[in-house]
Amino acid sequence: MLSILKLKDYRNLWLAQIVSELGDGITSLLIIYLASTLSDDPLVYSFVLMVRYLPSVLFGTLAGPIVDRFSKKYIMIAADLYRSLIVLAIILCQTSLPLIIFLTFLLGLGTVFFEPARSATIPRIIHKESIPEAVGLSQSTMMAMSIIAPSLGGILLLTKHYTSMLLFDSLTFFLSALILLTVHIPNDVTNQVNEENKQSYLNSLKEGLRILTTNTLLLGLFWLLIAGLLFVSMLNTNIYPLLLDEFKVGELHFGTLQTVVGAAGLLGSFFVTFFMRKVKARNLIIYTFLFIGLMCLLVSPVASLHESFPLIPIYAWFVCIGFTNTFINVPVNSLLLQTLPEKMVGRITGVMVSVINVSTLAGLYFGGLLAGKIGSVGAIIMAGGGFLIFAIIFPQTKYYKALRLSNPDSEKRDIQGQEMQIQEATK
């Protein structure tokens, strides 16, 4: 996995990710904590998490063609500088929950452009055979930052130096932009893309939508992500009230438990590439759904054991949940990046991210709504049931059968052929 770091451009892209996610992880923890101090409404956790995804729902589809048409490097740099300024603005509004929520929305708007640009960059700077390793390393890095950031964030929360935490995050976005300046992306704006600029923006957007809705393999990945994010979001939105409201953990354990999830996820990210060599990606995803579903159903026994053995069963449960974090993302993203033609990555991923985040928002909302009706434990059990039902039904569909990716180049040619047919039909 680490061998791809020998490639200078990918290494710098990876370093930018490290710097940015370190600061962002601290700020995310701080925003959730500030929200809990400014409101005792159980739905507040849902709203704070929802607004980070709402920009992708509203603008993700529109961002895709822009990423495909223009320099991915400078789109990422502009997004980092923009997010740096937004974090600075949060400093002035940290006692106002409505303003925090609004600025969190604006912060997510920068991610709408950054993430598709980053995804489109990876196939351009590494060989396609190394894409699973690149995706795995990216996930490992994200998990590593989810270890370091909450640990550091939990300590900083004890100091009450909220402004310093936000200043640090703003600085990390700025440093990330400086590092990205050193990244060389071959054919960042190709002649082919320049030719596409003559085509209307609307037609370019329609092509991406039509290909996504007519290709069975892409639809299979699409439904996996929708289901996964729906139930994961229901789970995630109830983790925080479970810890803070029902289990009454303090600031230190709140940060430490996030670290435990990250540590377990990091361990899982090293194992996922190994399992992908032994188990078909589609099967690995379904097995993961089954495992997470069973873990969710065990939350009641965990809650009962917590009364007799404080914190121990919670930590064990978080380890099990965290370990599987990468066992959905890495296989799905690897299949996606191996299958899509380079010039269409931004467009397709933009559409997918936009629609998929509708599922995320739905999960966050209904997770919060269920928590208000039946409690966090009951809501987590409902999410587990959803995982199990989907894992049983989906393998019976044609979309699951289409996820036999034996020849990525063949699938890539099929998608390119679909694109040409659509272009001819629209002339």
pTM of the predicted model, to two decimals? 0.64
Residue 418: what pLDDT? 45
By the 8 A CB rule, do 13 and 180 touch?
yes
Question: Rounded to an integer, what distance in angstroms lies between the CA atom of residue 216 and that of residue 403?
Answer: 8
For residue 295, what pLDDT is reported?
92
Cα distance between residue 188 and residue 399, in whole Å? 33
Q: Tell me what pLDDT residue 1 has.
A: 54
Looking at domain 2-426, which CATH architecture does it have?
Up-down Bundle (1.20)
Are the beta carbons of 93 and 166 closer than 8 angstroms? Answer: no
Would you state the structure tokens that stand for residue 106, as one six-digit string? 């604006």
CA angle, residues 287, 401, 220, in degrees to nearest 5:
75
Let me know how long the chain is.
427
What is the mean pLDDT, run by run of 10 residues, along the chain of 427 residues? 78 88 80 81 72 79 77 92 92 88 89 84 80 75 72 76 87 93 79 48 64 77 86 83 72 72 78 82 90 91 78 85 80 74 66 73 84 86 94 91 58 48 45
Tell me what pLDDT residue 177 has: 94
Judge contact between 154 and 255, C-beta under 8 A.
Answer: yes
What pLDDT score was predicted for residue 2? Answer: 63
Crossing angle for the helix pair 345-393 and 281-297, nearest 10 degrees? 60
Determine the Cα–Cα distance for residues 371 and 334; give it in Å rounded to an integer. 34
Q: How far apart are CA 88 and CA 417, in angstroms?
A: 47
pLDDT tens for residues 42-71?
A: 667 667 877 877 887 788 777 777 887 788
pLDDT score recorded for residue 387 = 95
Angle at 87 between CA 31 and CA 239, to 5 degrees: 20
Contact present, 116 and 67 (Cβ < 8 Å): yes
CA pair distance 69, 201, nearest whole angstrom:
10
- Domain boundary assignment for the chain: 2-426
Whole-number pLDDT of residue 196: 46
Q: What is the pLDDT of residue 203?
A: 66
* Farthest CA pair distance, the chain: 70
Spatial distance between the Cα atoms of 78 and 246, rounded to a whole number of angstroms: 42
